[in-house]
Amino acid sequence: MSRKGAKTAKKNARFAPLRLCVRQARTALPLRTGFLFCLLLLTACTSSLSAPQGAAPPAPALPAGFDVQGHRGARGLQPENTLPAFETALDLGVTTLEFDLHLTADGEVVVWHDPTITPDKCSLPAATAAGAAPAQPASRPRIADLTSAALQHYRCDRNPDTGRFPAQEPAPTLLAGDDYRIVRLADLFDFVARYAASDEKRADQRATAGQVQFNIETKRKPDDPAAIGDDFDGVNPGLFEREIARIVAESGLADRVVLQSFDHRSLWAMRRLQPELRLAALTTRSVDLADLAQRGATIWSPDFATLTPALLAEAHALGLAVIPWTVNDPADMRRLIEMGVDGLITDRPDLLLGNLP
């Protein structure tokens, strides 16, 4: 068969069901009734034609109360821990915004993951660099050594790994615009409140923002006290914990905040300040789950690759919710949902919220 003939045959085969629908409607029913019935059949047939052969099944319905956490906002779609990333996550309908916290030299709690400013994520615009300005990102200045005002000079809109985050794009959003500065915790709380009241967002989006949870991570490191650089002694709350507690209390958002950390000392210290605050223990390896529950953790967030059905059952028996990190592959999402986790932390909330391939 010629190439043209093969193409014609393929096209005829594709539309054969449609022609059959029309023929059956025309011959089996009176004219008027047949015409109406034909329209219904045409709709059904063309819908089936639009679905590709071998298409994946639809995304599994998320269980009631399932917690979809946008990791660093929506790191797979926007530069991490920036207002556009958080706005994108809210637009998608996440139930929780997950992000990281550091402490500046002048005691401000700011939203950022790394202990330093790095050139793979941030730049110092030329206009700023020409005048009095902080150090260039290439010198990797520490957050703990910079004031909050100095941090405002940096623009953090770069993708550090295009292989891991091919869909990350620094595209301006409706409310945040092109603002890729490092913001304070209080600024982020204010931004979410502004989103919830904005007529430029749909009613369902405003409702999401009005009840979204905040999973905030203290970036303490037991082996690097200078990462935060305050007066923390390992037991009593340091300036970092005290400032977080103050900001959360003043915002009136204590019932919507979860404090998480890999450094569990920070969790227990915060519990002394705000006993009502929910605590999430982040882990990378095996851990004594009973001890976490006894000390006051209500959530266990393991590396998703370490989670087994037996560990999940043990955590649930102890009253711990289980929300693994950081899950970006649709196959892993499906497997963990079917295993029975209570939520997922993901860079790609768009995939989890109804678009799993």
By CB neighbour count within 10 A (0-12 exposed, 13-18 middle, 19+ buried), where does 239 fall? Answer: middle
- Decide: helix, strand or coil at residue 316: helix
- Is pTM beyond 0.85? Reply is no
User: What are the tens digits of pLDDT across the range 139-162?
Assistant: 999 999 999 999 999 999 999 999
Which pair of tokens denotes residue 77? 């779609």
Written as one string, the DSSP assignment of 131-159 is: SS----GGG--BGGGS-HHHHTT-B----
Residue 30, pLDDT score = 46
Tell whether the model's pLDDT for residue 267 goes beyond 90. Answer: yes
Closest CA to 210 of 188, 227, 221, 195: 195
Mention every residue, 6+ apart, whose C-beta is less than 8 A from residue 350: 74, 76, 77, 92
Residue 226, pLDDT score = 86
Tell whether the model's pLDDT for residue 255 goes beyond 60. Answer: yes
Asked whether 263 and 132 are in contact (CB, 8 A), the reply is no
Asked whether 152 and 60 are in contact (CB, 8 A), the reply is no
User: What are the tens digits of pLDDT across the range 306-323?
Assistant: 999 999 999 999 999 999
Domains and CATH numbers, the chain: 3-50 (no CATH), 67-352 (3.20.20.190)
User: What are the tens digits of pLDDT across the range 50-109?
Assistant: 334 444 445 557 999 999 999 999 999 999 999 999 999 999 999 999 999 999 999 999
Asked whether 76 and 194 are in contact (CB, 8 A), the reply is no
Tell whether the model's pLDDT for residue 32 goes beyond 80. Answer: no
Confidence of residue 10 (pLDDT cuts 50, 70, 90): very low
Tell whether the model's pLDDT for residue 339 goes beyond 50. Answer: yes
Residue 345, pLDDT score = 99
What is the average per-residue pLDDT within 7-12? 40
Mean pLDDT score of the chain: 87
